[in-house]
């Protein structure tokens, strides 16, 4: 391991990675890797997570291809120094801000979008001119093996390396000095990564998670809008890796009087998208492993929580499948309402008035995304100014990640 990192440092020192032509060649090679290995990528995702090709293309392959082509088209602009104004006091002086690579970068990726979360940060690191060590998650082993075997065939081995392994390898990597660490995963491990980085004063980017709520205020508009709302909620919960996504809808907030309408719409949509029951379930990923399966099953063990199930709840331990499950008003102090769910269970919390969602969301820690289905411009403004989240998306779910400019 130390030898690999020493090689990455040596390569960086030679200055090769700083050239625009090197960066472009690596990005083009990455695009080729994706284009030429689509079927293997689909296969690995199916093996690790039961993802269908459409989901895999929509959330991983397509997103990555877009990311590479966007980066290639903007690279020269991004790399160019930016002129800065100089006050009269310093006449005649010129000033500019010049982007420079940090050096040797460590990327930890997660298991739920094993390609996107490994290669999208890699695209950034390469385009900025760094050398990189990528440590994919061993909880998606087929994808990890694919990356370990395939990346060396396309990219510059002296500048981009992939290391297989589990938490122990991760810990050893964290003892070493990096110029930047990019981590995607849970807040718990995020703290460990940052604490390790602190010893070397290494800057970090931490992509974590949280309980991303969906506020629903559009059910009393036209039936077509209500249907679209339901589709987007279902698509935003069970569409991405059966809810195992940082930006999946975690729970829903809706006015009491509209709860039953919403639940009926959701049930219809779930059946249409994924099948009538657990035996005929299709178009949906599975739970990644037994540990996560057990964690999710345990969330339903609390009798008050189990009582609040209004749809679904069946599980298949052998196939690691939990059917799409809706709960109505589980106790607010239950684990399912205090921990990030990261799975196919959707609590619906009712409020007297939809405006109360703002206080409800603010009583918890800042989520990664707030989804708000509303056409009330005043309410939209209030949500924007009175809550704090990574992102806010109005009237849809999930799609905000595809827009490269936000």
Residues 217-276 that bind another protein (CB under 8 A): 218, 224-225, 228-229, 231-232, 234-235, 239, 272-274
Query: Nearer to another protein by C-beta: 351 or 384?
Result: 384
Residue 88 found at the interface with another protein (CB under 8 A): no
Residue 95 found at the interface with another protein (CB under 8 A): yes
Return the biggest CA–CA distance within the chain: 76
Stretch that binds another protein, among 125-133, 134-142, 150-158, 387-395 (CB under 8 A): 387-395
Nearest to 187 by CA among 339, 48, 376, 34: 339
Residue 319 found at the interface with another protein (CB under 8 A): no
Q: Where does 37-81 have alpha helices with state H?
A: 38-49, 53-56, 62-79
Query: Choosing from 207, 241, 255, 323, which is the catalytic residue?
Result: 207
Stretch that binds another protein, among 120-128, 131-139, 343-351, 397-405 (CB under 8 A): 397-405
Residue span 19-58 as binding mask against another protein, x where in contact by CB under 8 A, dash where not: ---------------------------------xxxx-xx
Checking 67-75 for CB contacts under 8 A at 24+ apart, the result is 67/119, 67/120, 67/123, 67/404, 68/27, 68/30, 68/31, 68/34, 68/123, 69/31, 70/404, 71/27, 71/123, 71/124, 71/127, 72/24, 72/27, 72/28, 72/31, 75/20, 75/23, 75/24, 75/27, 75/127
Contact 17, 11 (CB under 8 A): yes
Q: What part of residues 113-172 is at the interface with another protein (CB under 8 A)?
A: none
Is 143 annotated as catalytic?
A: no
Choice from 77, 282, 301, 352 touching another protein (CB under 8 A): 282
Q: Report the nearest approach of another protein to the CB of residue 203 (Å).
A: 4
Nearest to 347 by CA among 271, 261, 268, 250: 250
Query: Nearer to another protein by C-beta: 218 or 308?
Result: 218
Stretch that binds another protein, among 2-10, 71-79, 94-102, 342-350 (CB under 8 A): 94-102
Find where tokens 């589709």 sit.
Answer: 231
Q: Report the nearest approach of another protein to the CB of residue 333 (Å).
A: 21
Query: Nearer to another protein by C-beta: 141 or 243?
Result: 243
Q: What part of residues 354-373 is at the interface with another protein (CB under 8 A)?
A: 362
Stretch that binds another protein, among 21-29, 81-89, 119-127, 318-326 (CB under 8 A): 81-89
Q: Where does 300-402 have alpha helices with state H?
A: 303-307, 335-338, 357-362, 377-386
Residue 391 found at the interface with another protein (CB under 8 A): yes
What are the structure tokens assigned to 390, written together? 């990574």
Checking 304-313 for CB contacts under 8 A at 24+ apart, the result is 304/330, 304/331, 304/334, 305/330, 305/331, 305/334, 305/336, 308/347, 310/263, 311/263, 311/266, 311/267, 311/270, 312/270, 312/278, 312/344
What are the structure tokens assigned to 272, written together? 């249409």
What are the structure tokens assigned to 151, written together? 């990346």
Q: Phi and psi (nearest 5°) for 369?
A: -135, 145
Query: Nearer to another protein by C-beta: 273 or 360?
Result: 273
C-alpha 298/C-alpha 320 separation (Å) is 14
Query: Choosing from 143, 241, 246, 255, which is the catalytic residue?
Result: 246
Q: Report the nearest approach of another protein to the CB of residue 330 (Å).
A: 26
Stretch that binds another protein, among 110-118, 142-150, 321-329, 381-389 (CB under 8 A): 381-389
Q: Is the peptide bond before 142 cis (omega within 30 degrees of 0)?
A: no
Residue 400 found at the interface with another protein (CB under 8 A): yes
Q: What part of residues 192-211 is at the interface with another protein (CB under 8 A)?
A: 194-195, 197-199, 201, 203, 206, 208
Query: Nearer to another protein by C-beta: 353 or 385?
Result: 385
C-alpha 74/C-alpha 49 separation (Å) is 33
Residue 75 found at the interface with another protein (CB under 8 A): no
Choice from 283, 294, 298, 338 touching another protein (CB under 8 A): 283
Is 317 annotated as catalytic?
A: no
Q: Report the nearest approach of another protein to the CB of residue 379 (Å).
A: 13
- What residues are annotated to the active site? 207, 246
């Amino acid at each position: 391991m130390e030898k690999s990192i020493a090689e990455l440092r040596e390569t960086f020192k030679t200055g090769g990675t700083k050239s625009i032509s090197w960066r472009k060649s690596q990005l083009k090679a990455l695009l080729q890797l994706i284009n030429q290995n689509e079927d293997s990528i689909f296969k690995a995702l199916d093996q690790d997570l039961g993802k269908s090709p459409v989901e895999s293309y929509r959330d991983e392959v397509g997103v990555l291809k877009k990311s590479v082509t966007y980066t290639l088209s903007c690279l020269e602009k991004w790399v160019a120094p930016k002129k800065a104004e100089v006050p009269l006091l310093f006449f005649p002086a010129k000033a500019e801000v010049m982007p420079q690579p940090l050096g040797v970068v460590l990327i930890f990726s997660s298991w739920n979008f094993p390609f996107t979360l490994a290669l999208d940060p890699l695209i950034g690191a390469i385009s900025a001119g760094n050398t990189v060590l990528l440590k994919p998650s061993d909880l998606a082993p087929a994808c990890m093996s694919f990356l370990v075997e395939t990346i060396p065939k396309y990219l510059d081995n002296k500048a981009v390396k992939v290391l297989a392994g589990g938490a122990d390898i991760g810990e050893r990597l964290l003892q070493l000095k990096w110029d930047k660490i990019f981590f995607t995963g849970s807040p718990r491990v995020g703290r460990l990564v940052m604490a390790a980085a602190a010893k070397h004063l290494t800057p970090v980017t931490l992509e974590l998670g949280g309980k991303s709520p969906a506020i629903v205020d559009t059910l009393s508009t036209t039936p077509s809008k209500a249907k679209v709302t339901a589709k987007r909620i279902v698509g935003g919960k069970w569409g991405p890796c059966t809810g195992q996504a940082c930006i999946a809808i975690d729970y829903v907030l809706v006015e009491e009087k509209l709860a039953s309408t919403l639940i009926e719409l959701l049930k219809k949509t779930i059946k249409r998208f994924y099948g009538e029951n657990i035996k005929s379930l299709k178009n949906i990923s599975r739970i990644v492993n037994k540990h996560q399966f057990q964690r999710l099953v345990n969330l339903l063990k609390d009798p008050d929580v189990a009582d609040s199930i209004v749809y679904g709840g069946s599980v298949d331990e052998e196939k690691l499948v939990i059917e799409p499950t809706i709960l109505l008003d589980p106790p607010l102090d239950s684990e399912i309402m205090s921990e990030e769910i990261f799975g196919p269970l959707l609590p619906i919390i009712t409020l007297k008035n939809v405006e109360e969602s703002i206080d409800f969301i603010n009583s918890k820690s800042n989520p990664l995304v707030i989804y708000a289905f509303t056409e009330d411009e005043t309410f939209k403004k209030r949500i924007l100014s009175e809550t704090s989240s990574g992102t806010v998306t109005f009237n849809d779910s999930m799609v905000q990640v595809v827009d490269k400019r936000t």
